[in-house]
Structure 1
Amino acid sequence: MQELRIEPTPLIGRERELVAIRQMLHREDVRLLTLIGPAGVGKTRLAMQAVQEQHEFFADGVFVILLAQINDSEQVLPALAHTLGIREVADRPMLERLVEGLKERHVLLLLDNFEQVVSAAFYLAELLARCSRLKLLVTSREAFHLRAEHEFAVAPLEIPNPSQLPDLTTLSRNESVALFLERAQAVKADFLLTPANAAVVAQICVRLDGLPLALELAAARIKLLPPRALLARLSQRLQVLTGGARDLPPHQQTLRATLAWSYNLLSAREKRLFRWLSIFDRGCALEAAEAVCTALVSDASGAPVLEGIASLLDKSLLQRASADDEEPRCVMLETVRDYGLECLAACGEMEAVRQAHAYYYLLLAEQAEQELASGVQQDMYLARLKWEHDNLRAAMRYMLEQAEAGRSSEMALRLGGALLPFWMMQGYWSEGRAFLRQALTMREGAAVSAQAKALAAAGKLAFQQGDYDQAEKLAGENLGLFREIGDTRGSALALEILGMVAWNRGNLSSAQALLQEALALYKQTNDKEGMVNSLFALAWLLRSQGEYNRARVLCEESLALSGDLGDTRRVADAQLLMAQMLFDTQAAPTTVRSQVEDVLVLYRQVEDKEGIAACFHLSGQITLLQGETEEARSWFEQSVALHKELGHQAGLAWAVSGLARVALAQSDYVAARNRYEES
């Protein structure tokens, strides 16, 4: 009977996995259990721990067969025979000898690192079919797809949430952190988790995806590099994570080596697909992967791409990350993606793949722009853009790099114009302005329509952040361009921005004239989305002048059109204005509070931060009037926080003045004065 080796280090975490694996091994219907996971996830260590103390359940023993040094499928059976003490006989096939030796024996065999001899899986099926008391536990980076197989996915260790770190004791029990600490203390005995380094250690664990091998290699560097210096070097993690223990197999002594081990087992087509998919930042929808890869070569039709993705999922180089009823998303661990990008650059494919990636996300943004405006599929497309935000940012970077290199900025201008609704709704105003500012400085030679639309988007965002001079300049410039190309809708949008600027500067008559001109143009083209915006702006303007009846009529018209469009955000806008007018006039003091609560639900549904902040402000006004000063303070403080996040200067001033009124109501005159001065 083989004596199992004693592992030199303790197994950190994995308590749930160990219980589940042992329970499955004891089930009669589980004959072949395959532990599957990406490189460095700790399959071998987990399997070794799982078979400890199993002799009492397997009368004829537990045996471990290490296959890391075997790359020929024909050598698997001899390796099994050698471990089991079964001698080779000249006139008898090795499979038959193994069947004879195992047929009556109740044994558990652990076969480690089976991925490079996966074609030998047929022999496992034969052994199981002919040896009724045999049970197999196998570690592999891919499944075998045998009828007897039960797959067990080995995931990375639990990682902490850097934005919500618990106390040190709790953090030290996090699986990734605990492993990092244990291995760091093995090379630097006085290393401790402290308030000063806790956040950095947590970031290290997150950056390394909770992969045990990566964590162990990183921890070994603590002898030289303190945590902050180590974290800074993880941008080049494949260069840093080397120098593993000498008693490990060679392919586990560096992170690059263990990833190369998986990569080299792929077919040429799978290698190419793996490289291409590494371009996606934090994963992508299956549709995006198919579109980008199909665009790159003529022989990458949808079916082969889909099959290739399924194969990479099987081989643990991709993970699936989505609910069962959603479009699947393919995700690479960041450590795996780093290796893929390195291979992509080495093969000279980086430029072509980045271009295809950027073009796909431009088209997605332009399609989403239409859907966000129409409201019919607003929620779905907003969710898609949120999921793909990192990829959109990658596309933005590529397009700016192209423009800076002397190529056309048209793609960047188009993307900036298309992303305006997303930036507006999600509160990425500063991000949008920064991108558009750079793109517009390089707009020479681009199509006039692309320039005008980008100028309009930049003007709208400048207005939102209270930069009225810049908003007026940009809107005036794009109005000229839109008129030059005969774009009536674009001209209306520019007039709308100019009208809002005039209003905020106190020029009410000019504001009303500009907004009415914009409304007339929208009606001329039957642009219902534009009509909603202008009617809403005119209603706010009339409300500010105390003309509540006229404002209510326009607001109701805006609300009706928004409802017809199925546009939740614009419905919420109109309902909030109606509630604000009810509060102003005290026409329905007992119902206005519940109305604001209903509107807040709508804004939260579409995640419109500006609308949510406005609801907080009005809730503060209502509760302050009702004498509930502490609740009012809470509402105003939440409004202040969101307006600060957005960079919404006018909204911030209103919210701070609300806090001043709370202080005044509480007879705290010093605080009230300070708040009024701040606003």
Structure 2
Amino acid sequence: MSQLERPFPTSPFIGRVEELAEITSRLNDPECRLLTIAGPGGIGKTRLAAQACMQLADAFPDGVYFIPLQPLNHIDFLTPTLVEALGMCCFTTEDPRIQLFGHLKKKRALLVLDNFEHLMDGASFLSDILMESETVKLLVTSREVLNLQEEWIFLVEGLKVPESLDVEGIEEYSAVRLFDEVARRVQPGFSLAQNLECVVHICQYLQGMPLAVEIAAAWLKTLPCRILAQEIRSDLNLLVSTKRDVPERHRSMRAVFEHSWRQLTEPEKDIFSRLSVFQGSFEYEAAQKVAGADLFSLQAFTDKSLLRVSGSGRYIIHELLRQYLVEKLCDQCGTYNPVRDLHCDYFAEFMLRQERRLKGSEQKSALAEIDAELDNLRHAWSWAVEQEKRDMLGKLIEGLFLYYQMRSLVREGLELFRKAIHRLEGVKDSLLADFYIYTAWFEAIAGWRAPWHPIQGK
């Protein structure tokens, strides 16, 4: 076997400059002998590891070996797979593990073990390799961290996505570049400049997940970019690849999520599906009260790359995965509505507390806390209006009115309150009167009167 065994990708490698620099830096650190590239399916772990192989070839004189583990269905096949990949010949009756350790004893080599997540029961074998072979290093890709003492973890997120259309160099963001590269392959006349707004919206919704971006862009041979941007938000089944050379596990985003779903226990499935009611991000207390989560379950979801923890300590579920989880929650007979009720009740109480703070000396910190929960508050409000939960709306209304007023979000406040009036105007009570008053105030502040005047004649 040649000194360097690695895959040779046939398509351009886009972005990930900082990630590659960090990975190579860690593997050049004598203290780091086991590095796990962890992240959800479709995030680009394998491609990132393959690119790292190419950059690290000179640092390992005894070889860089890229070893795919996806075909293995039991840990018993780990040793034979490594023996074969290293070009060893085991003719004696001695234990193949011992022969493997002996072969690696003095080697300055890098073994890249790709797709380890389904072989977690064999994780301790990696510790044995490191103990017996002092100069070998391991680079592992996995949806789940190994939880070994020797392990260093590198979490992979999506490609860079522009936050808005106003940023400079928007065409250079890696998610946009990937979409454009695939789009021009399937539609030679594709113009990024003419479709930039739609492309950015698609990349934002997909949160830069490379597999999802590639599958979405391939649809341009069938759908205009504008229609694709609309359809992709409502139909997870659209994200299916027809490429013949794509592995089965990456043929669709649903297949990616199904693989991770099958790794969960039944109690974990129940809790994780309930977390789908959160929008944007959420805190531990909310997960505990709404979904029945505890720290151990959240840690398990984080270890499996199903949850991401932000710098501020909030939990985030990828939007595509959340869409999949909503389907799972709806499949549980009689579960969706009660969980939405719990979510609505939790954030109604949250807003009631913030309302008191907005009227006092803690206004600044209250506004910051509402900023963080705004997506969840919008979600709770929509549910309360749709289900005509007047008690919940009563807890939400004044706090949201003050918030929209203080943040100068007049148009959003006006639209939210108008929709509530449309839904609730059949019952004349003090709550409806408050809606009329606050809506009129928003209209007055906006300096214009809309064609429809809810306050008029009331």
Q: Same fold (TM over 0.5)?
A: yes
Name the counterpart of 2:306.
Answer: 317
- 1:367 paired with 2:349, answer no
Tell me which residue corresponds to 1:637: none
Match of 2:437 in 1: 459
Matches of 1:432 and 1:247, distance apart in 2: 48
Structure 2 vs 1, CA of residues 383 and 283 (structure 1 numbering), >3 Å: closer, same or farther? same
TM-fit CA distance, 1:55: 3.4
CA distance in 1, matches of 2:442, 2:54: 64
Match of 1:437 among 399, 418, 421: 421
Match of 2:376 in 1: 391
SS at 2:80's partner residue?
A: helix
- For the pair shown, which has the larger CA radius of gyration, 1 or 2? 1
Which residue of 446, 453, 458 corresponds with 1:647? Answer: 446
Q: Look up the match of 1:210.
A: 208
C-alpha offsets along residues 74-129 of structure 1, whole Å, 9 cap, x if unaligned? 32222212212334568544432321221122211000011111221110011101
Distance 1:464 1:173, change over 3 A: closer
Match of 2:365 among 375, 380, 403: 380
Compared CA separation, residues 44 and 419, structure 1 to 2 (3 A): same
Q: TM-score scaled to structure 1, two decimals?
A: 0.62
Q: In the TM superposition, what whole-angstrom CA distance separates every residue of 1:497-538 from its partner, at most 9, and x where no partner exists?
A: xxxxxxxxxxxxxxxxxxxxxxxxxxxxxxxxxxxxxxxxxx
Q: Name the residue aligned to 2:227.
A: 229
* TM-aligned CA distance change 1:86 to 1:346, over 3 Å: farther
Distance in 2 between residues matched to 1:118 and 1:90, nearest whole Å: 29
Aligned residue for 1:201? Answer: 199
Q: Does the C-alpha gap of structure 1 residues 438 and 74 become closer, same or farther in structure 2, counting only changes over 3 Å?
A: farther
What whole-Å deviation, never above 9, does each CA across 1:152-194 have from its counterpart, x for those lacking one?
121211112334154xxx3322101111111112222222212
Gaps of 5+ in 1: 295-299, 445-450, 467-645, 651-679
**CA gap 1:402/1:143 in 2 versus in 1, 3 angstroms:** same
Q: How does 1:335-354 map to 2 (within 5 A)?
A: 335-348=320-333, 349-354=335-340
Pairing of 1:494-509 with structure 2 (within 5 A): none
Q: Do residues 423 (structure 1) and 423 (structure 2) align?
A: no
**Equivalent position to 1:357, from 335, 343, 347:** 343
Cα offset for 1:417? 4.1
For residues 291-318 of structure 1, the C-alpha deviation after alignment (integer angstroms, 9 at most, x for no partner) is 2123xxxxx6xxxx11111221222111
Distance change in 2, residues 1:460/1:233 (3 Å): closer
Q: What do the CA deviations read for 1:601-622 (whole angstroms, capped 9, x no partner)?
A: xxxxxxxxxxxxxxxxxxxxxx
1:414–1:453 CA contact under 8 A, matched in 2: no
Percentage of identical aligned residues: 33
Residue 65 of structure 2 aligns to a residue whose secondary structure is strand
SS of 1:235's equivalent in the other structure is: coil
Quick check: 2:414–2:442 contact (8 Å CA) kept in 1? no
Q: Is the 8 A contact 1:104 1:133 kept in 2?
A: yes
CA distance in 2, matches of 1:443, 1:411: 16
Give the 3 Å change call, closer, same or farther, for CA 460–224 of structure 1 in structure 2.
Answer: closer
Q: Which residue of the other structure, out of 259, 267, 270, is the alignment partner of 1:269?
A: 267
Do 2:418 and 2:439's aligned partners in 1 also have CA atoms closer than 8 Å? Answer: no
Could you tell me how far apart the structure 1 residues matched to 2:443 and 2:385 are?
A: 23
Report deviation, 1:378. 2.2
Aligned residue in 2 for 1:410: 391
Q: CA deviation at 1:47?
A: 0.4
Cα gap change, 1:16 to 1:25, in 2 (>3 Å)? same
Kept in 1, the 8 Å contact 2:421–2:432? The answer is no
Distance in 2 (alpha carbons) for counterparts of 1:441 and 1:410: 15
Name the amino acid aligned to 2:321: V
Classify 1:262/1:244 alpha carbon distance in 2 versus 1 (closer, same or farther; 3 Å): farther
Distance in 2 (CA, whole Å) between partners of 1:87 and 1:356 is 61
State how far apart, in whole Å, the 1-side matches of 2:427 and 2:316 are: 35
Q: Residue 77 of structure 1 contacts residue 95 of structure 1 at CA under 8 Å; is this kept in 2?
A: yes
User: Are 2:172 and 1:186 aligned?
Assistant: no
3-state SS of paired residue (1:64): strand
Give 2:155's match in structure 1, choosing from 146, 153, 156: 153
CA distance in 2, matches of 1:649, 1:28: 67
Q: Tell whether the 8 Å contact from 1:95 to 1:123 is kept in structure 2 after alignment.
A: no
5+ residue gaps in structure 2?
Answer: 450-458
1:568-614 C-alpha deviation (Å, 9 max, x unpaired): xxxxxxxxxxxxxxxxxxxxxxxxxxxxxxxxxxxxxxxxxxxxxxx
* Aligned equivalents of 1:389, 1:4: Cα separation in 2: 46
Please tell me the root mean square deviation across aligned C-alpha atoms, in Å: 2.2
> Judging changes above 3 Å, is the alpha-carbon distance between structure 1 residues 144 and 112 closer, same or farther for their aligned structure 2 residues?
same
1: CA distance, partners of 2:221 / 2:236: 18
Q: Aligned ranges for residues 218-617 of structure 1 at < 5 Å? A: 218-294=216-292, 305-323=294-312, 328-348=313-333, 349-373=335-359, 375-403=360-388, 409-427=390-408, 428=410, 429-438=413-422, 440-443=424-427, 451-452=429-430, 455-456=433-434, 458-466=436-444
1:351-382 CA distance string (max 9 Å, x none):
22111111111111111112222x24322222
Matching residue's letter, 2:179: F
1:23 deviates by: 2.2
Task: Give distance in 2, aligned partners of 1:380 and 1:175.
Answer: 35
Read off the aligned partner of 2:353 and give its amino acid letter: Q
User: Helix, strand or coil for the counterpart of 2:166?
Assistant: coil
Structure 2 residue 142 is matched with structure 1 residue 144: no
Q: Equivalent residue of 1:278, what SS?
A: helix
SS at structure 2 position matched to 1:236:
coil
- Partner SS for 1:156: coil
1:20, 1:250 → 2: CA distance? Answer: 30
Mapped pair 1:69 → 2:64: no
Q: In the TM superposition, what is the alpha-carbon distance from 1:29 to its structure 2 partner?
A: 1.3
CA contact (8 A) 1:413 1:443 kept: no
Structure 1 residue 138: Cα displacement: 0.6
Post-superposition CA distance 1:130-162 (Å, at most 9, x none): 110111011111211212111112121111233
Q: How does 1:34-73 map to 2 (within 5 A)?
A: 34-73=36-75
Which residue, out of 122, 125, 128, partners 2:124?
A: 122
Letter in 2 for 1:425: M
CA contact (8 A) 1:409 1:442 kept: no
Amino acid at match of 1:347: Q
CA separation of 1:378 and 1:439: change in aligned 2, threshold 3 A: farther
CA deviations on 1:227-254 (whole Å, 9 max, x unpaired) are 1121111123421111253222211111
**With structure 2 as the length reference, what TM-score do the two structures score?**
0.90
- Structure 1's 98 and 224: CA in aligned 2 closer, same or farther, altered over 3 A? same
* Structure with more relative contact order (C-alpha pairs < 8 Å, separation 6 or more): 2
TM superposition shift of 1:69:
2.1
Q: Quote the offset at 1:50 in angstroms.
A: 0.7
Contact 1:141 1:316 in 2 (8 A): yes
Contact 1:61 1:107 in 2 (8 A): yes
- Note closer, same or farther for the CA distance 1:87–1:341 as it changes in structure 2 (3 Å cut): farther
User: Contact 2:385 / 2:420 at 8 angstroms: preserved in 1?
Assistant: no
